[in-house]
Chains A and B, each alone.
Chain A
């Protein structure tokens, strides 16, 4: 049924007079143009639509949106529209909206199907592997140039990054390592208690922390904290064209931005890992002596005999590899970042995911190699 705000008049042949009245503001809701177009369909002889308004008409964009749609419908049906009786402002807005603007659309939302999207993702794997290898090659080449003394290296920046990677992360590493050591002691004690071999808790905590767990936990913490911040920093620099400014100055972004970050993490990760080893063992010590009533000296002696020097080296190798992985992921994602706020968010998430996935893969590979070598 036609709304009371619209009155149609067919008194003159081939002309439809439309009189609009009442409240046509957005707050009153929009009327569907179908109410009028259905009339045009049933009166196919109409060649002109003449729009009038009453004096009590209240209008804003709601009216213009309606008229715009009506005008376009009429254009499609080759019906001319007389707009002269509309308020001046409405005429102006309608003309502005009907102007033809030809702008090139550079990118649009993709309406690909689920399978197409899956296919695109798979194809992207090859590209991202290639760009990752390229980036790794650039880092290696930059390190060679650094050793040869051909790289402009800002020591102040480097020390700031070292501080951020080390000192600022220390508290979190302490807490997590201590808790992991305590959890290991608890879980181990349940099994060992049944065998009456609780004293071997020291071996379990010591070996697992020093050999792999301290490095893995530190790697994950550093990935979440430092890797993400690398990606966000470099992403923002990319968005603000700071990276472009470096390139035009003839400075390689990898040498200027990536090398200090990789170096800082490669130096700080082993130090943090040794610290995490000690905190983990201390966590096990607290539970063993405080709750399971083991002799403190006996606990420390067992730890000393169980943890071989080679285990410490294996832990340190893990940590160096993780340092490289986290810095690599953070810097790569940051430099690949799209130049907008959403891009920075995506880069940060992706850096953490890539970092942690890389850490798990690297742990598996190193463990396998150690197994083969019998270490």
Chain B
């Protein structure tokens, strides 16, 4: 297999848990370059735990997470940092540093990892904030802007270093349909513009169908994945009632 065919992210037989309590097991999927890959499932099925494992915050009890063939959890600290430099993360709450302005939030990764001068960093910060529609908000504090703007500012920080992979944890959570749609469009534009691969953890059906071209469905009861593929194909062809109930918002029998 040559490098261009190799999946950019590959999860192999992954088991995750807290202490001795297993959260999920036997998770395997692969994400190709340029994909918008959705991790979906009902609340409490372990989506966010899986994301934590993908971004290096939670080690698995078994299995591998491969980034372009390199096993993240088998790398030494330096190797893990090199891989982590390749991805940007948008957290559910935005997780902007509240004591810093939006400009300072976006500038920090650039100050840490590049040798650019103050003026050059300012240029990049202005550009990243313009990309997410927050031009002129360099000096605003996170507490002084709306929830949607906080999410977009956090996205500007996530893409500060031009990552290959952008991971989103519930990007539409807490947003109205218009702002959620704007954020979806932004994800598509950034994927096309930056040529990045996107992994989105969400249970918002509108977002799943609007942006996703590949997905994995996690089931809370069996604590494993029960489907994978394009969400639209899953909606049309899946025989598993748990998947179709989720994707059609159908009521469970007897409820």
A interface list, Cβ under 8 A from B: 26-27, 29-30, 60-62, 64-66, 68-69, 88-90, 92-93, 96-99, 101, 103, 105-109, 338-343
Contact A342 B136 (CB under 8 A): no
**Quick one: CB contact mask for B214-233 with A, threshold 8 Å, 1 for yes?**
00000000000000000000
Number of contacts between A and B (CB, 8 Å)? Answer: 101
Q: Given the interface contacts A64-B127, A107-B141, A339-B143, does A96 sit within 8 Å of B189 by beta carbon?
A: yes
Hey, which chain A residues are within 8 Å of B116, CB to CB?
A: 26, 29-30
What residue of chain B has the Cβ atom nearest to residue A26's Cβ?
B114
Q: Are A103 and B127 in contact (CB under 8 A)?
A: no
Task: Supply 26 A–B pairs (Cβ within 8 Å), ascending by A.
Answer: A26-B161, A29-B116, A30-B116, A30-B120, A61-B124, A61-B159, A65-B123, A66-B123, A68-B126, A89-B192, A89-B194, A89-B195, A96-B190, A97-B135, A99-B130, A101-B135, A103-B145, A103-B149, A105-B140, A105-B144, A107-B141, A108-B139, A109-B101, A339-B143, A341-B97, A342-B99
Chain B residues, CB < 8 A from A103: 133-134, 137, 145-146, 149
Using a Cβ–Cβ cut-off of 8 Å, how many residues does chain B contribute to the interface with A? 40
In the complex, the answer to whether A96 meets B101 with C-beta atoms within 8 Å is no
In the assembled complex, which residues on chain A have CB atoms less than 8 Å from the CB atom of B140? 105-109
B128 interface contact, C-beta 8 A: yes
Contact indicator per residue, chain B 126-164, by CB within 8 Å of chain A (1) or not (0): 111011011111011111111001000000000101100
**Which residues in B have some Cβ–Cβ distance to A below 8 Å?**
97-99, 101, 110, 114-116, 120, 123-124, 126-128, 130-131, 133-137, 139-146, 149, 159, 161-162, 186, 189-190, 192-195
Contacts of A66 in B (CB 8 A): 123
Question: Shortest Cβ distance from B133 into chain A, in angstroms?
Answer: 4
Chain A residues with CB under 8 Å of B190's CB are: 96
Given pairs A26-B116, A342-B98, 7 additional interface contacts (CB within 8 A): A61-B159, A96-B189, A97-B130, A103-B149, A105-B137, A340-B98, A341-B98
Question: Within 8 Å CB of A65, what residues of B?
Answer: 123-124, 126-127
Shortest Cβ gap from A238 to chain B (Å): 12
Complex A-B, nearest 9 residue pairs according to Cβ-Cβ distance, in ascending order: A107-B144, A340-B98, A101-B133, A93-B193, A342-B99, A97-B130, A92-B193, A106-B144, A65-B127
Report whether B143 and A107 are in contact in the complex, using a CB–CB cutoff of 8 Å.
Answer: yes
Docked-complex contact B193 and A89, CB < 8 angstroms? yes
- Give bound CA distance, A364 to B145, whole Å: 45
What is the bound-complex CA distance between A62 and B124, given in angstroms?
Answer: 7
The complex places the Cα of A98 from the Cα of B149 at a distance, in Å, of 17
Residues on the A chain within 8 Å of B161, using CB: 26
Question: Assuming A61-B162, A96-B131, A96-B189, is B124 touching A105 (CB within 8 A)?
Answer: no
CB distance from A100 to the nearest CB of B (A): 8
Give min CB distance, A112 to chain B, whole Å: 13
Chain A residue numbers with a CB within 8 Å of B143 are 107, 338-340, 343
Q: Which residues of A contact B136 (CB under 8 A)?
A: 105
Pairwise interchain contact A29-B120, C-beta atoms closer than 8 A: yes
- Shortest distance in angstroms between A59's beta carbon and chain B's nearest beta carbon? 10
Check if A109 sits within 8 Å of B137, measured CB to CB.
Answer: no
Output the nearest chain B residue to A27 by Cβ-Cβ distance: B114
Partner of B123, one of A69, A106, A338: A69
Which chain B residues border A96 with CB–CB below 8 Å? Answer: 130-131, 186, 189-190, 193
Residues of chain A within 8 A of B127, CB atoms compared: 61, 64-65, 68, 97
A60 → B minimal CB distance (Å): 4
**In the assembled complex, how far is the CB of residue B176 from the closest CB belonging to chain A, in whole angstroms?**
15
C-alpha spacing A106/B101, complex, angstroms: 13
A residues within 8 A CB of B114? Answer: 26-27
Asked if A92 and B189 make an inter-chain contact with CB atoms under 8 angstroms apart, the answer reads: yes
**Separation of A68 and B129 alpha carbons in the complex (Å):** 12
Partner of A92, one of B110, B135, B144, B192: B192
Residues of A within 8 A of B97 (CB): 341
Q: In the bound complex, how far is the Cα of B125 from the Cα of A288, in angstroms?
A: 67
